[in-house]
């Protein structure tokens, strides 16, 4: 009984201690700019800014590229302090805990890819009240919880790049093409397909004829079978566009093992690691995706420009992002990275994600 | 029995001393740990784990386990989201319906364990998957996030003049209730008796099946309460809410000195362990320890918590063998 009483007393003492230290400061952080000096480097960005990248999860090659090969480079250019932190599993609650940590550390810029557009809002706003600037990249939050969103690509940009790639691959004679999409009701896929149809209506693509759109449901097996089915159904097919990483990899696997290899062209949105072997064996000439390293690089510069007071996130404001040049803030405090990045035999080995 | 009492007490003290050490050393060595905001974040994180750890302690003391708790939490969140979509906009009604759901889910576990006599480990691994699956069926990959701000910020509002959220008071009241039931009533003594020897407890007049059944119901209800808090704290009802939290709860219960074989342990140690794990994790995170290393720390602590009491026990026995107890005839129940 005595030891238990001591234990209880210890709990009570601890609780009192906590309460006592809690009452001296009501939630304010007071260390908003974490000692960032106003010594300007190129473009008026303050030096010594603490910039932290918070990806959906660590140990993910995509985010390793965007953060450590993009964001880090940018932060070193403007002489800030770079860090990457985050949960090992992609859950919003784990991310909240890291946002809290960053705001306590007096981080100037938090660059985050949201695991849930609402669940991390409270924590982000608390960090902003403490003086941090919040930039989302890859996956946005509610616009009210961040200062800027760096969008990897627009619908039009993706559609233009896909049609250009298939046109180049098929050649000047044109011919029949088909689309292998994900699910029939995927919002982004349908927007891209609609934009591709608009693009195909242009005179320079008059020789390309879209004959079919099929759905592989982002399932590897189904996408593989749908690719097979397309070639059986359309003997004159010259090219396939698959604007989904699962679909394009499955179609490439089918084509590379079939007699159509090199005769039926394929392009789409894919990741270099999945597509490398098919680019090398001649199944695919080129495919597209945004360059995650550029995405992280731009996000770091945007955050630094915010934290240096060069921009506030209003539409029409301009800032310079190092080697990427000048960017203008669009509607809903969004900055678009640019046209998708084209991967081909010449550059695909430089990427690992 | 006397040794057991001593042993329990000493493990509680070890956990609490560790907690104080982590807090003091952390405050001295890591910038930010001494700040009120740190304790606000720790307490916010502790609330759902503590809510579930309270009934889990009792369940484990009877020699059973409930691994479905985080899935009950997730299904409650999905249900709360779906009710909102169906137009239930009264918070008290939502709370009541969610708690009822939690009790039903707990009762399902209880029925399988008591009526069919199945091992709770197997049953609740099954319902862990089943309830999480139902959560996805109910809400899919949608997230319901348009609850009124007065609810979401109301749930985490600090106590006047402090930074600690008011919900901690509810946790504290429930902790006292569970503590009194476990440590100061015949029901509590019955739980230890079941954990030590269910057959003997039955002969001694303890209604084993009924007790276990209601423990599972209580665990379901508390997990549902944690789910309601989770939804409001993160302002987002999602099917994957609280995924994997059952491990955090079981880790805290075991680190708190409750024997996985039943019959031993108490709430003081468990509450200390819940606070210890959260404080340690948040402090290390603040010290920029990477996520991968953090999971190693938690894993090591869990192993230490299972090995620790045994080592302490062996050391105590060895010491006792050399110096026999002055009152070997004294027998006391562990209260």
pLDDT tens readout for residues B159-181: 888 888 999 999 999 999 999 99
Question: pLDDT tens across A37-59, in order?
Answer: 444 445 688 989 999 999 988 88
* Cβ contact, residue pair B163, A27, below 8 Å: yes
From chain A, pick out residues whose CB is under 8 angstroms from the CB of B156: 122
Residue-level pLDDT at A71: 93
Residue-level pLDDT at B113: 95
Of A6, A17, A29, the CB nearest to B13: A6
Output the six-digit token pair for A90.
Answer: 């992609």
Question: Picking from B15-29, B98-112, B143-157, which range would have the lowest pLDDT averaged per residue?
Answer: B143-157
DSSP string, A255-315: HHTSTTBTTBEEEEB--HHHHHHHHHTTS-SEEEE--HHHHHHHHHHHHHHHHTTS--S-T
Residues B310-322 have a mean pLDDT of 73
Residue-level pLDDT at A251: 96
Residues B229-246 have a mean pLDDT of 89
Residue-level pLDDT at A23: 37
Residue-level pLDDT at B1: 46
B289 to chain A: closest CA residue: A85
3-state per-residue secondary structure call for B251-305 = HHHHHCCCCCCCCCCCHHHHHHHHHHHHHHHHHHHHCCCCHHHHHHHHHHHHHHH
From chain B, pick out residues whose CB is under 8 angstroms from the CB of A23: 36, 161-162
Question: pLDDT tens across B87-111, in order?
Answer: 988 999 999 999 999 999 999 999 9
Write down the domain spans for chain B: 2-322
Of A3, A29, A91, the CB nearest to B37: A29
What residue ranges of chain A are covered by domains with CATH 3.40.50.2300?
42-153+292-347, 158-283
The CATH number of the structural domain formed by A42-153+292-347 is: 3.40.50.2300
Read off the DSSP letter of residue A45.
P
Residue B335 has pLDDT above 60, yes or no: no
The CATH number of the structural domain formed by B2-322 is: 1.10.3470
Report the length, in residues, of chain B. 335
Residues A71-85 have a mean pLDDT of 94
Output the six-digit token pair for B174.
Answer: 């429930």
From chain A, pick out residues whose CB is under 8 angstroms from the CB of B242: 93
B278 to chain A: closest CA residue: A97
In B30-68, which ranges are continuous DSSP H helix?
A: 36-61
Residues A263-269 have a mean pLDDT of 95
Location of structure tokens 């919040």: A134
Residue A264 · residue A238 · CB < 8 Å: yes
Residue-level pLDDT at A304: 95
Output the six-digit token pair for B164.
Answer: 């600690």
A26 to chain B: closest CA residue: B163
Residues B319-334 have a mean pLDDT of 57
Question: pLDDT tens across A222-240, in order?
Answer: 999 999 999 999 999 999 9
Of B36, B38, B143, the CB nearest to A118: B143
Residue-level pLDDT at B318: 77
From chain A residues 143-162, the ones with a CB under 8 A of any chain B CB are none
Residue-level pLDDT at A10: 47
CATH class of A158-283: alpha beta
Average pLDDT, chain A: 86
pLDDT over 70 for what percent of chain A?
88
* Integer Cα distance of B27 and B31 in angstroms: 7
Of A4, A17, A119, the CB nearest to B268: A4
Output the six-digit token pair for A32.
Answer: 């908003």
Of A19, A25, A87, the CB nearest to B291: A87
User: β-pairing, A109-112 with A50-54?
Assistant: parallel
Residue-level pLDDT at A218: 83
Most confident of B31-35, B61-65, B282-286: B61-65
Question: pLDDT tens across A127-156, in order?
Answer: 999 999 999 998 888 899 999 999 988 889
Q: Among A218, A322, A329, which Cα is nearest to A270's? A: A218
Question: pLDDT tens across A292-330, in order?
Answer: 899 999 999 999 999 999 999 999 999 999 999 999 999
Residue A230 · residue A180 · CB < 8 Å: yes
Residue B10 has pLDDT above 60, yes or no: yes
Q: Could you give the ipTM of this predicted complex?
A: 0.75
Does A24 lie at the interface with B, CB-CB under 8 angstroms?
yes
B52 burial (CB, 10 Å; 0-12 / 13-18 / 19+) is buried
CA distance A116 to chain B (A): 8
Residue B323 confidence class, pLDDT cut points 50, 70, 90: low
Does A10 lie at the interface with B, CB-CB under 8 angstroms?
yes
């Amino acid at each position: 009984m005595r030891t238990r009483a001591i234990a209880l007393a210890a709990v009570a003492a601890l609780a009192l201690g906590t309460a006592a230290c809690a009452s001296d400061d009501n939630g304010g952080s007071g260390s908003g700019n974490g000692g960032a000096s106003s010594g300007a480097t190129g473009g008026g960005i303050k030096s010594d800014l603490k910039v932290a990248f918070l990806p959906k999860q660590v140990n993910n090659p995509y985010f390793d590229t965007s953060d450590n090969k993009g964001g880090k480079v940018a932060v070193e250019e403007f002489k800030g302090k770079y860090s990457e932190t985050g949960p090992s599993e992609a859950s919003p609650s784990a991310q909240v805990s890291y946002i809290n940590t960053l705001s306590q550390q007096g981080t100037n810029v938090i660059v985050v890819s949201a695991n849930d557009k609402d669940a991390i809002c409270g924590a982000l706003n608390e960090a902003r009240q403490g003086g941090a600037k919040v930039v989302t990249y890859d996956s946005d939050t509610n616009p009210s919880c961040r200062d800027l969103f760096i969008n990897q690509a627009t619908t039009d940009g993706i559609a233009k790049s896909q049609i250009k790639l298939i046109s180049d691959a098929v050649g000047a004679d044109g011919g029949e093409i088909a689309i292998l999409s994900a699910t029939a009701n995927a919002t982004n896929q349908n927007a891209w397909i609609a934009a591709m149809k608009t693009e195909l209506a242009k005179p320079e693509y008059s020789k390309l004829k879209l004959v079919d759109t099929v759905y592989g449901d982002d399932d590897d097996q189904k996408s593989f079978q749908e690719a097979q089915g397309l070639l059986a159904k359309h003997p004159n097919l010259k090219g396939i566009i698959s604007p989904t990483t699962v679909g394009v990899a499955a179609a490439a696997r089918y084509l590379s093992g079939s007699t159509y290899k090199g005769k039926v062209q394929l392009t789409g949105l894919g990741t270099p690691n999945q597509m490398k072997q098919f680019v090398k064996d001649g199944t695919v000439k080129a495919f597209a995706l945004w360059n995650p390293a550029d995405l992280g690089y731009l996000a770091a510069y945007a955050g630094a420009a915010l934290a240096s007071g060069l921009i506030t996130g209003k539409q029409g404001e301009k800032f310079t992002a190092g080697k990427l040049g000048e960017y203008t803030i669009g509607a809903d405090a969004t900055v678009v990275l640019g046209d998708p990045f084209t991967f081909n035999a010449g550059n695909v080995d430089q990427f690992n994600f | 029995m006397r040794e057991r009492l001593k042993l329990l007490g000493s493990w509680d003290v070890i956990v609490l001393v560790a907690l104080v050490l982590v807090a003091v050393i952390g405050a001295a060595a890591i910038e930010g740990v001494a700040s009120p905001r740190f304790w606000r974040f720790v307490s916010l994180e502790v609330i759902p784990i503590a809510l579930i750890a309270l009934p889990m302690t009792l369940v484990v003391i009877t020699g059973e386990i409930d691994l479905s708790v985080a899935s009950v939490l997730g299904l409650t969140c999905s249900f709360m989201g779906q009710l909102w979509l169906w137009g239930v906009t009264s918070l008290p009604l939502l709370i009541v319906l969610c708690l009822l759901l939690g009790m039903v889910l707990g009762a399902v576990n209880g029925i399988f364990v008591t009526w069919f006599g199945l091992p709770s480990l197997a049953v609740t691994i099954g319902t862990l998957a089943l309830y999480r699956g139902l959560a996805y069926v109910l809400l899919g990959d949608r997230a319901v996030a348009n609850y009124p701000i007065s609810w979401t910020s109301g749930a985490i509002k600090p106590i006047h003049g402090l930074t600690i959220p008011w919900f901690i008071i509810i946790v504290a009241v429930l902790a006292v209730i569970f503590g009194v039931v476990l440590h100061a009533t015949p029901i509590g003594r019955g739980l230890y008796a079941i954990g030590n020897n269910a057959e003997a407890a039955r002969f001694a007049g303890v209604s084993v099946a009924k007790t276990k059944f209601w423990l599972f119901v209580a665990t379901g209800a508390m997990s549902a309460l944690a789910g309601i808090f989770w939804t409001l704290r993160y302002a987002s009802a999602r099917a994957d809410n609280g995924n994997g939290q059952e491990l955090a709860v079981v880790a805290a219960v075991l680190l708190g000195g409750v024997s996985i074989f039943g019959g031993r342990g108490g709430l003081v140690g468990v509450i200390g362990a819940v606070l210890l794990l959260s404080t340690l994790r948040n402090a290390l995170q603040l010290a920029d320890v990477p996520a991968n290393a953090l999971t190693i720390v938690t894993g090591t602590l869990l192993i230490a918590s299972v090995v620790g009491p045994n080592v302490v026990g062996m050391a105590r026995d060895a010491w006792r063998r050399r110096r026999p107890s002055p009152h070997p005839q004294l027998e006391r129940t562990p209260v």
